[in-house]
Amino acid sequence: MSAAEGPPVDAGRVIADLRELDRRTGGPDGAQRVCWGEDWRRAREFLTELLAELGLEPERDEAGNFWAKLEGESEPALAVGSHLDSVPDGGWLDGALGVMAGVGVLRAWATSGRQPPRSVFLVDWADEEGARFGRSLFGSSAFSGTLDPDRVRRLRDSEGRELPQVLGANGVDLDRVLQSGERRETLAAYLELHIEQGPVTEAEGVPVAAVQGCAGVERHRLRFTGQASHAGTTPMDQRRDAGLAAAEAALRIEGVAERNHGVATTGALALRPGIPTAVAGEAELMVDLRNPDADSLATMLDEALELAKLAAAKHRCGLENELVWRIEPIPFDEPLVSLAQETVADTGGRDEPMSSGALHDAAEVARVVPAAMLFVPSIGGISHAKEEDTSEADLAAGIEAFGALANRALPLGR
């Protein structure tokens, strides 16, 4: 075994840990590890037990992120991990796979009788999903510094409880969360294993893929204004039907995706008055555009707005556009992605790196620390549901490739 190779991760043990986590925090409806709740805390208790087996004592940072350090021969450290929190009725692998695979990396070294060439941190980011308060990537964006405490201070959950109060009950002070960023200096690189949550790798029949970055998102609310009028008495040629304008815009925006190699979704449409006996006087259409390339994303937005304008004009409606949320495409670190691709190629994985349409903690981390990811297939492309699954063979291949990647990254300097 050369120093660069390092000890292999025991994938069977990692899968057993995942099944035990599922037994403790899941049920017939799926995983229930919603962040800041009881099952999520129980998941972290289990993680603490696993780390105690290795003689490691975890600590929490100011944002509620959970860290455990295995001392190596040098600093700064390599960090491996993901998130234990889930959506309600979620899958057993989303996030948990990356955390347990990270434990596997620490376990491989801790039981090898050798010190890793640099220290290794396991990290479990707090509230990746944003399932309770609607703010995704909470812990990792506090770490990267993009979280603005004042913008989330008034968020409430469905039971009306305020975010600062729920954080407080979990020992997190919203006014101090950005201090978690002080840890950036202690990290040389960050690696994350995750399920793809889409159908690409399964369709290609590959067990693992390197990820080159996360797509950017443009999310807009298009408001079409026509004139509500009687369904029986208003002649077809005299209508100003905002619903038809929105529907036509949605159909036209579909084509924007293919032309620009991205994805476009018009997933929410609200009509007013929204009754069978009236022409819709108002329509709100939510548009979500994603592309890994910033220029292509900008083109998608221009085209979508132009097509919406044409649809509005055709139905003699007004059109307003409101930006709901936007994030630029976040590329991962090129040398780390190359290393990930080499590792994937050695294990019969995908021929080239893919881009992630979903956001991950690694995207926030990549802003401040070199980062890269690996994906394993999701059966049927399904995630955020109790049916979420990955074949045991693909899980094992992904976990082993992740361990190999961590070992290859360990000797690299910052």
Q: Where along the sequence are the contacts to Zn ion (CB under 5 A)?
A: 94-95
- The phi, psi pair for 39, rounded to 5°, reads -65, -35
- Taking the least distance from each CB to Zn ion, the nearer of 214 and 249 is 214
Q: If residue 412 lies in a helix (H) or strand (E), which one and from where to where?
A: none
Instruction: Please give the Cα distance from 144 to 141 (Å, whole number).
Output: 5
Please identify the residue of the shown chain whose CB is closest to the bound Zn ion. Answer: 95
Closest separation between CB of residue 360 and Zn ion, Å?
6
In this structure, how many other beta carbons lie within 10 angstroms of the beta carbon of residue 21?
A: 23
- Taking the least distance from each CB to Zn ion, the nearer of 211 and 311 is 211
Closest separation between CB of residue 155 and Zn ion, Å?
20
Which residues lie closer than 8 Å to 27 by C-beta, 6 or more apart? none
- Contact of 115 with 72, CB cutoff 8 Å: yes
Closest separation between CB of residue 128 and Zn ion, Å?
6
Closest separation between CB of residue 383 and Zn ion, Å?
8
Instruction: Please give the Cα distance from 98 to 268 (Å, whole number).
Output: 32
Picking from 373, 400, 324, the residue whose alpha carbon sits closest to that of residue 140 is 373
Closest separation between CB of residue 206 and Zn ion, Å?
20
- Which amino acid, 360? H
Q: If residue 213 lies in a helix (H) or strand (E), which one and from where to where?
A: strand 209-214
- Taking the least distance from each CB to Zn ion, the nearer of 95 and 370 is 95
- Taking the least distance from each CB to Zn ion, the nearer of 37 and 95 is 95
- Taking the least distance from each CB to Zn ion, the nearer of 81 and 95 is 95
Closest separation between CB of residue 39 and Zn ion, Å?
16
3-state secondary structure string across 72-132: CCCCCEEEEEECCCCCCCECCCCCHHHHHHHHHHHHHHHCCCCCCCCCEEEEECCCCCCCC
- Taking the least distance from each CB to Zn ion, the nearer of 100 and 317 is 100
Q: In the numeric block, which tokens belong to residue 134?
A: 């609607």
Closest separation between CB of residue 376 and Zn ion, Å?
12
Instruction: Please give the Cα distance from 332 to 211 (Å, whole number).
Output: 8
- Taking the least distance from each CB to Zn ion, the nearer of 95 and 281 is 95
Instruction: Please give the Cα distance from 48 to 331 (Å, whole number).
Output: 32
- Taking the least distance from each CB to Zn ion, the nearer of 256 and 399 is 399
- Taking the least distance from each CB to Zn ion, the nearer of 109 and 375 is 375
Closest separation between CB of residue 58 and Zn ion, Å?
20
- The phi, psi pair for 10, rounded to 5°, reads -85, 95
- Which amino acid, 2? S
Closest separation between CB of residue 361 and Zn ion, Å?
8
Instruction: Please give the Cα distance from 288 to 220 (Å, whole number).
Output: 7
Instruction: Please give the Cα distance from 202 to 375 (Å, whole number).
Output: 11
